[in-house]
Amino acid sequence: MQRLILGGARSGKSAFAERLASQSGKPVVYIATAEAQDAEMAARIEQHRQQRPPHWQLVEAPLQLAAALQAHADADAILLVDCLTLWLSNQLLHAPENLQQTLDTLLAILPKLPGELILVSNEVGQGVVPMGELSRRFVDASGRLHQRLAAQCDEVVMLIAGLPWYLKGKQ
């Protein structure tokens, strides 16, 4: 089972994904994509750490997500990636020339992964078109990534005000 969990900032998507992983009873590998570039982000990362069960394995993969998924996928475990939009931002800042190849690589390996996968991402395409070029590239890339992931995943859930709205699967 592969799930895509979408939502706006503070929509409850991470907590929902963590509940799904916990309720499975399987070992969880939490793949974090954030980089603490400033004090505010470091505080956010720490808050997420405090919320997670201490027995979950943590893998930090701000850039090499496909490799981390391949290395840690297991038929008897759950991989939880939080979050794709931070990973995408990292790609745009560190290796924009490789963005399309990196996205294609990620999407190609997903069907080959054993076990369960939960992908968390911010839905950013429902607002005003950003003024800056980098911001527009990010919104465009995340929208295209979400569309491709939604087509591949078994289940797609949008979180609004902490409530799940099933867009695909679990009818």
Helix (H) or strand (E) holding 80, with range, is: strand 78-82
Spell out the residues 6+ positions from residue 17 whose beta carbon is closer than 8 angstroms to its own.
Answer: 3, 5, 80, 82, 118, 120
Spell out the residues 6+ positions from residue 132 whose beta carbon is closer than 8 angstroms to its own.
Answer: none
CB atoms closer than 10 angstroms to residue 116: 22
Cα separation values, 13 from 26, 89, 131, Å = 20, 18, 27
Q: Is 48 a catalytic residue?
A: yes
Calculate the CA 50 to chain-centre distance: 19
- Look-up of token digits 């399309």: 100
DSSP 52: S
What are the helix (H) ranges across 52-132? 65-72, 84-94, 99-109
Q: Please tell me which residue in 48, 55, 72, 94 is annotated as part of the active site.
A: 48
- The catalytic residues are 48
